[in-house]
């Protein structure tokens, strides 16, 4: 089970590393946490259990993920579940959810019940009580988003990791900086609701992983606070909260 770890070069905790990484393969960024680049700028993630055998995948449904998922199974990993955080990741999947599950060795797929429209496959409720998540120190928070709902995922592995789905817009890899701002849902009420949810998001984290764009690594306590304050700002009169 060593092939997943091969890409530990230069600084794996950098946008440059991800930008140069080969699409369609899982690349290790931090201990037991991997990223896979898919089409249209989407990126998915994997968390490996301390037993070095079980894995939990996040948003790995996009076009370009099939090869990487199958490779994990071929290498002997047991994929215990695929968490899909938002509707866009469901709509742009590389195959039916049933096929994706089969590619992952029969792994269950979890999504928000508001987002799931696939009547041919039994999708589990990501915001329900799921004992599996405890094994990966996972907590789910329900957020409003542009279409449907988004399940923001938190794990206290690696001193805290946030998988923010499409609730944020992160700086593209070909642009300067590493800004993360709250996504505009197109609805004043939803924007306010998302801001309020972020404002009360009281968790410690060192890593922040978006669905698209540059992640943030090794955030200090002050940087964590600043980011949550920014994402939670409601602005004035329903204006863009990040201006």
CATH label of the domain that carries residue 151: 3.60.15.10
105 pLDDT higher than 90: yes
Length of the chain: 243
234 pLDDT higher than 80: no
- Dist. CA 149–CA 232, nearest whole Å: 17
Judge whether 242 and 232 are in contact, CB under 8 Å: no
The verdict on residue 237 lying in a domain is no
Reduce the DSSP state of residue 137 to 3 states and report it: coil
Q: What is the mean pLDDT of the chain?
A: 90
Judge whether 47 and 56 are in contact, CB under 8 Å: yes
Q: pLDDT value at position 8?
A: 43
Q: pLDDT value at position 235?
A: 56
Least confident span in 17-26, 86-95, 114-123: 114-123
Tokens matching residue 223: 């940087």
- The number of domains in the chain is 1
Range of 92's domain?
3-232
Q: How confident is the model at residue 10 (pLDDT cuts 50, 70, 90)?
A: very low
The verdict on residue 84 lying in a domain is yes
Tokens matching residue 87: 């509707």
């Amino acid at each position: 089970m060593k092939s997943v770890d091969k890409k530990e070069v230069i600084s794996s905790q950098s946008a440059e590393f991800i930008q140069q990484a080969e699409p369609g393969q899982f690349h290790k960024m931090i201990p037991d946490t991997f990223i896979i680049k898919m089409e249209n700028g989407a990126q998915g993630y994997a968390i490996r259990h301390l037993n070095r055998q079980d894995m939990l995948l996040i948003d790995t449904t996009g076009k370009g993920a099939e090869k990487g998922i199958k490779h994990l199974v071929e290498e002997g990993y047991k994929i215990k579940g695929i968490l899909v955080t938002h509707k866009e990741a469901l709509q742009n999947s590389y195959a039916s959810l049933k096929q994706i599950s089969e590619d992952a060795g029969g792994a269950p797929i979890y999504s928000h019940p508001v987002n799931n429209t696939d009547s041919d496959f039994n999708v589990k409720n990501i915001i329900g009580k799921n004992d599996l998540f405890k094994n990966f120190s996972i907590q789910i928070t329900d957020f409003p988003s542009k279409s449907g709902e988004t399940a923001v995922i938190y794990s206290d592995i690696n001193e805290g990791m946030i998988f923010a789905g499409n609730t944020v817009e992160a700086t593209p890899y070909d642009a300067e900086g590493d800004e993360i701002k709250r996504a505009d849902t197109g609805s004043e009420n939803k924007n306010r609701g998302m801001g309020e949810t972020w404002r009360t998001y009281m968790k410690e984290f060192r890593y922040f992983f978006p669905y698209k764009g540059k992640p943030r690594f090794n955030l200090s306590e002050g940087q964590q606070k600043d980011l949550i304050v920014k994402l939670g700002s409601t602005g004035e009169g329903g204006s863009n909260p990040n201006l």
